[in-house]
Amino acid sequence: MTRVVVDREVCMGAGVCEMEAPEVFELDADGVPQVHEPVDLAVVETAVRACPTGALQLMD
């Protein structure tokens, strides 16, 4: 199953992922997205591409 990994050191909390896929990403109190599984791959791929810092990675 594909998972989404968030690099907390790279994420700047812009929230683009949450805007693109609010059913998958939810920013926590620190502004870092928590990932709700399972993920819809098509939706998540859009969010991964839209992340301005490259903090999101898809892993099998």
Of the candidate residues 24, 28, 33, 59, the single one contacting ligand SF4 (CB under 6 A): 33
Of the candidate residues 11, 21, 24, 44, the single one contacting ligand SF4 (CB under 6 A): 11
- Residue 44 is a binding residue for ligand SF4 (CB under 6 A): no
Phi-psi domain of 42 (left: phi exceeds 0; alpha: psi -120 through 50; beta: other):
alpha
State both tokens at 22. Answer: 């609010």
Minimum CB–partner distance for residue 54 and ligand SF4 (Å): 8
State both tokens at 34. Answer: 């928590």
What gap in Å lies between CA 30 and CA 44, rounded to an integer? 21
Q: List residues binding ligand SF4 (CB under 6 A).
A: 6, 11-17, 33, 51-53, 55-56
